[in-house]
């Protein structure tokens, strides 16, 4: 899992960490990362796709 996370951009790692480890809402993540709600939401979706692709590569 660490390899897959390491392959992501810093923003993608932050979004996944804040969402899944810290349990933050999209609104909370947007405020912390100084993003609009839509940017945080779409960034989280891209981060999920990127993580899954990276995860499949390291398996």
Q: Tell me: the pLDDT tens digits for 3-17?
A: 999 999 999 999 999
Tokens of 58: 């390291």
The secondary structure of 13-41 as a DSSP string is HHHHIIIIIS---HHHHHHHHT--HHHHH
**Distance separating alpha carbons of residues 46 and 11, to the nearest angstrom:** 11
pTM, to two decimals: 0.91
**Distance separating alpha carbons of residues 29 and 49, to the nearest angstrom:** 18
pLDDT band (50, 70, 90) for residue 1:
confident
Domains of the chain: 2-58 (1.10.10.10)
Burial 12-40 (b: 16+ CB within 10 A, else e): bbbbbebbeeeebebeebbeeeebeeeeb
- Give percent of the chain above pLDDT 70: 100
Average pLDDT along the chain: 96
């Amino acid at each position: 899992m660490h390899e897959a996370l390491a392959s992501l951009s810093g923003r993608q790692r932050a979004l996944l960490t804040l969402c899944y480890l810290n349990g933050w809402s999209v609104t909370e993540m947007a405020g912390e990362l100084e993003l609009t709600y839509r940017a945080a939401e779409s960034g989280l979706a891209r981060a999920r796709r990127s993580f899954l692709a990276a995860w499949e590569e390291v398996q």
